[in-house]
Amino acid sequence: MPENAPVWAIVVLPVALAVAAVVTAGFDAVLSGAAGRGHAGGIRRAGRRAATPVREALRLLVQQPRRTTAADRLLGRLGVVLVPVAAVLAGAVLPWGFRAVSDPSVGVVWFNAMEALAWAAVWLAGWGPNSALSLISGYRFLAQGLAYELPHMFALTTAALGAESLRVGDVVAAQEGVWFVVWMPVAFAAYLLSALAMAFWGPFAHPLARDAAGGAAAELAGVDRLVFLGGRWLLLVVTAGFSVPLFLGGGHGPLLPGWAWTLLKTAAVLALLVILRRALPVLRMERYMEAAWMVLVPLTLLQALFVAVVVLNR
Amino acid sequence: MSLELFLLLAAALFSIGLFGALAQQSVVMLMMGLELMLGGVIVGAAAVWHYIAPDAADGQVLVVLAVTVMAVEMAVGFAVVTALFRAREVDMTDMAAELKE
Amino acid sequence: MFDDVIFWSLAMLAVAAGVMVFRFDSMARATYALLLSLLCVGGEVLLLGLDYLGVVIVLMMTIEMAIMAVFMVMYMMNPAGLMPMTMIHNKRGAAVICAVVFAALAAGILLTPWPARRGRASADPTMDLGMSLMGPQMLTMMTLGLALFATIVVTVVLATRRGRYDRFGDDLKARTADDPVRGGVGR
Q: What is the mean pLDDT of each run of 10 residues along chain A (314 residues)?
A: 66 88 88 79 81 88 83 87 92 85 88 90 88 87 90 93 90 88 92 89 82 78 88 93 90 83 92 88 84 91 94 88
Q: Which residues pair with B92 in a beta bridge?
A: B26
Among residues 110-129 of chain A, which lie with CB inside 8 Å of chain C? 110, 112-113, 116-117, 119-120, 123-124, 127
- Domains contained in chain A, number: 1
Query: B100: burial class by Cβ within 10 Å (0-12, 13-18, 19+)?
Result: exposed
pLDDT at A256: 82
| Separation between Cα atoms, residue C147 and residue C139, nearest integer Å | 12
Rg of chain B (C-alpha set): 17
A119/C66 touch (CB, cutoff 8 Å), yes or no: yes
The Cα of B13 is separated from the nearest Cα of chain C by a number of Å equal to 6
How many other CB atoms are found less than 10 A from the CB of residue A232?
Answer: 26
Average pLDDT over residues C73-84: 70
φ and ψ at residue B24, rounded to 5 degrees:
-75, 140
B19/C94 touch (CB, cutoff 8 Å), yes or no: yes
Assess whether pLDDT exceeds 90 at residue C72: no
**Which residue of C lies nearest to B40 if distances are taken between CA atoms?**
C41
Nearest alpha carbon to residue A73 among A136, A139, A125: A125
Residue of A149, A166, A289 with shortest CB distance to C183: A289
| Separation between Cα atoms, residue A6 and residue B24, nearest integer Å | 51
Beta strands of chain A (E only): which ranges? 3-4, 99-100
How many other CB atoms are found less than 10 A from the CB of residue B88?
Answer: 12
Chains A and C touch (3+ CB pairs under 8 A): yes
| Separation between Cα atoms, residue A118 and residue A133, nearest integer Å | 19
pLDDT at C115: 87
A142/C66 touch (CB, cutoff 8 Å), yes or no: yes
3-state secondary structure of A100: strand
**A123 touches A79 (CB < 8 A):** yes
Length of chain C: 187
Q: Which residues in chain B have Cβ-Cβ distances shorter than 8 Å to C68?
A: 28, 32, 74, 78
Q: Which domain holds residue A284?
A: 3-312
Average pLDDT over residues C78-99: 75
Q: Which residues in chain C have Cβ-Cβ distances shorter than 8 Å to B74?
A: 64, 67-68
The Cα of B101 is separated from the nearest Cα of chain C by a number of Å equal to 21
C117/B52 touch (CB, cutoff 8 Å), yes or no: yes
| Separation between Cα atoms, residue A24 and residue C62, nearest integer Å | 29
In this structure, the dihedral spanned by the alpha carbons of residues A107, A111, C52 and C45, taken in order and rounded to 10 degrees, is 120
| Separation between Cα atoms, residue C186 and residue A227, nearest integer Å | 38
How far is the CA of A270 from the CAs of A21, A130, A181, A192, A245, in angstroms? 10, 35, 16, 10, 14
| Separation between Cα atoms, residue A173 and residue A168, nearest integer Å | 9
The Cα of C81 is separated from the nearest Cα of chain A by a number of Å equal to 10
**A112 touches A156 (CB < 8 A):** yes
pLDDT at A239: 93
**A311 touches A171 (CB < 8 A):** no
Q: Which residues in chain A have Cβ-Cβ distances shorter than 8 Å to C148?
A: none
Question: What residues contact C8, with CB distance under 8 A and at least 6 apart?
Answer: none
Chains that touch B (3 or more CB pairs under 8 A): C
Nearest alpha carbon to residue A236 among A197, A282, A265, A190: A197
Task: Quote the DSSP letter at residue C121.
Answer: -
pLDDT at A1: 40
pLDDT at C184: 67
φ and ψ at residue B14, rounded to 5 degrees:
-60, -45
Task: Quote the DSSP letter at residue B54.
Answer: T
Residue of A78, A109, A142 with shortest CB distance to C52: A109
- C24 shares contact with chain A (CB less than 8 Å): no
The Cα of B41 is separated from the nearest Cα of chain C by a number of Å equal to 10
3-state secondary structure of C79: coil
pLDDT at C24: 84
How far is the CA of A18 from the CAs of A14, A224, A259, in angstroms? 6, 16, 17
How far is the CA of A266 from the CAs of A19, A24, A47, A263, in angstroms? 13, 11, 22, 5
Q: Which residues in chain C have Cβ-Cβ distances shorter than 8 Å to A298?
A: none
| Separation between Cα atoms, residue A307 and residue C55, nearest integer Å | 25
| Separation between Cα atoms, residue C4 and residue C29, nearest integer Å | 29
φ and ψ at residue A4, rounded to 5 degrees:
-80, 145
**How many Cβ pairs within 8 Å bridge chains A and C?**
81
The pTM is what? 0.90
- B97 shares contact with chain C (CB less than 8 Å): no
Assess whether pLDDT exceeds 60 at residue B1: yes
Nearest alpha carbon to residue C19 among A151, A198, B17, A192: B17
| Separation between Cα atoms, residue C177 and residue C174, nearest integer Å | 7
State whether ipTM is beyond 0.85: yes
Task: Output the DSSP codes for A84-138.
Answer: HHHHHHHHTT--BTTEES---TTHHHHHHHHHHHHHHHHHHHHHTTT-HHHHHHH
Nearest alpha carbon to residue B28 among B76, B98, B87: B76
For helices C27-47 and C51-75, give the axis angle rounded to 10 degrees: 170
- Per DSSP bridges, beta strands A99-100 and A3-4 are parallel
C26/A72 touch (CB, cutoff 8 Å), yes or no: yes
Nearest alpha carbon to residue A280 among A187, A217, A191, A206: A206
- C181 shares contact with chain A (CB less than 8 Å): yes
Q: Which residues in chain B have Cβ-Cβ distances shorter than 8 Å to C125?
A: 54, 57, 60
| Separation between Cα atoms, residue A230 and residue A234, nearest integer Å | 6
**Helix boundaries (H) for B1-101:** 3-23, 27-51, 58-88, 93-96
A289/C67 touch (CB, cutoff 8 Å), yes or no: no
pLDDT at A152: 93
A130/C80 touch (CB, cutoff 8 Å), yes or no: yes
pLDDT at B12: 94
The Cα of C164 is separated from the nearest Cα of chain B by a number of Å equal to 18
C66/A145 touch (CB, cutoff 8 Å), yes or no: yes
C82/A70 touch (CB, cutoff 8 Å), yes or no: yes
A109/C28 touch (CB, cutoff 8 Å), yes or no: no
- A27 shares contact with chain C (CB less than 8 Å): no
Average pLDDT over residues B66-72: 93
Assess whether pLDDT exceeds 90 at residue B8: yes
